[in-house]
Structure 1
C-alpha cells in the first residue's frame, strides 16, 4: 500500500508540471497578441507579400536598371524600357540618368570582353558597333575587365533636330585580369541621342571620344 508521503510528492510534482505548462502557454499567447495589436511584425514578414515575394522600396539604382532594361545579358528576358528618366515633378532626373549611364558603361565592357555586342546593338550607332567589334578583337588576349572605380558626369544635354542629345564624361579605373596587367585610368566622353518623337524611345550611343590622359 503506497505511503501518504509518496502520494503527496506525486501530487506536488504533477502540480509543478502543470504550472510550467500553463506559464509557457500564456507567455506565447501574450507575445502573439502583442505582435498583433502593436504591429511588431518580423522584418521577414514585413518585406513579403502574401505570395511570399520580397518587397523593397525602389531605389535610384533599380529605377536606372529598369530604364536601361534591354541591357540584360539574358536575350530571352523581356522588360519595358523608359526613355528620359523623370522625377516626381515631371522634370528630367539627371542622377537617375547617370546611374543608367554607368550601368551601360559596365555592360559595354562585358560585351567587349566577350566580343559579343548583339545584346547592345539596338543601343549602338552603326559606327560605334563596328568600331567596338574591331577594338574587342585587338584586345581579346588581355582577359576580362574589372571596373575598380567609375564616375559619370553629364556635360551637356540639348534638343536638336527632333532628338535629345546627352554628353556624358566617364572617369574610370579599369584593370584587365590577365596576369601582370596594371590598372588603367580611362577618361572618355560618350555622346548619346534619343528620338523625341518616339514615346519611351531608347538611348543610342552615337560616338565615343577618348580624352588624352
Structure 2
C-alpha cells in the first residue's frame, strides 16, 4: 500500500508520454495542453505528499522509546529482559513493610506501630536464656514478672521433681540455634505469639548429698514458648512451654 502513489505516478508519466508522442506539430507552441496541466499537477501532488509523510514520521515517537530522566536507565520495550540496576535503587524505601515470617503477625503490627518481629524474637531469646538460668539456680521469684501464675507453678514443679530425685541442676550453657514464630493470633483483646526454639542445653545434675557423682547431660531440645499480652500493652508474659509432641497435639 505504501508504494501505490509511486505506481500511480508512473501511470501518469506513461499516459503523458503517449499523449505527447501523438500530439499535433502545434504542440511546440507556448500554450499547454490538458495533459501538460495534469502531469505538472500530479508531480506537485506527489512531492507535497512525500514531504508531509516524512514530517509525520519524524514527529512520531520511536518504537524503541525511553522512559525516565537523564540520570535514569532507559526503558526499551524491545530490549532484553535481563535484570537491570537503577542508580540509587539501594536508597529507595519501600512504601510497605517487608512481608513478615508469619501472616498472623500482621494484625499485631497494625495495632502496634512499634512492634517488629525482629525485636520480639530478640526479647524472646533473652527470656529463654534467663528462664533456663533462673530455673537451674532455683531463683524463679526474681523473674516471676516474666510469666503468668500457671507458668510459674509449672517451673516450680520441675524444680520440686529434681529435689525429690535428690538432684540439683547446674546450667553450663544454653545455646539457641534458631528462634522462629510458629504461630501468631490476635483475638479477644489479646496478642498471642508462639516461638519455636531449637537449642542445646548443657547441664550438670549434682547430687544433693555429697556422696553422689555429678551427671553431665547434653540435650538438644525443640520447644514452643507461648507469649501473650493485652492489646495496647507493651509487656509480654510467658504463658506456656511445650515440647514438639505436646504442641502438635
Under a length normalisation based on structure 1, what TM-score does the superposition of the two structures give?
0.53
Unaligned regions of 5+ residues in structure 1, if any?
1-84
Residue number in structure 2 paired with 1:98:
121
| 2:228 equivalent in structure 1 | 193
Q: Are residues 1:181 and 2:204 paired? A: no
Aligned with residue 205 of structure 1, among 238, 244, 247? 238
Does residue 169 (structure 1) correspond to residue 196 (structure 2)? The answer is yes
**Counterpart contact for 1:102–1:150, Cα < 8 Å:** no
Deviations 1:41-87 (A, max 9, x none): xxxxxxxxxxxxxxxxxxxxxxxxxxxxxxxxxxxxxxxxxxxx98x
Root mean square deviation, CA, Å: 2.5
Contact 1:187 1:212 (8 Å CA) reproduced? no
Match of 1:123 in 2: 146
SS of match in other structure, 1:207: strand
1:101 to partner: Cα distance: 0.4
Distance 1:136 1:185, change over 3 A: same
3-state SS of 1:153 partner: strand
Number of residue pairs matched?
Answer: 125
What's 1:107 paired with? 130
**1:157 partner SS:** strand
Partner Cα distance (1:142, 1:121) in 2 = 19
Alpha-carbon separation, structure 2, partners of 1:117 and 1:173 = 21
**1:138 and 2:161 matched:** yes
Where 1:141 maps in the other structure, the secondary structure is strand
Greater RCO, CA 8 A, separation 6+: 1
Report the 3-state secondary structure (helix = DSSP H, G, I; strand = E; otherwise coil) of the residue aligned with 1:175: strand
Alignment partners' CA distance in 1, 2:134 and 2:143 = 8
Bigger Cα Rg: 2
Q: How far apart, in 2, do the equivalents of 1:142 and 1:91 lie? A: 38
Aligned residue in 1 for 2:177: 150
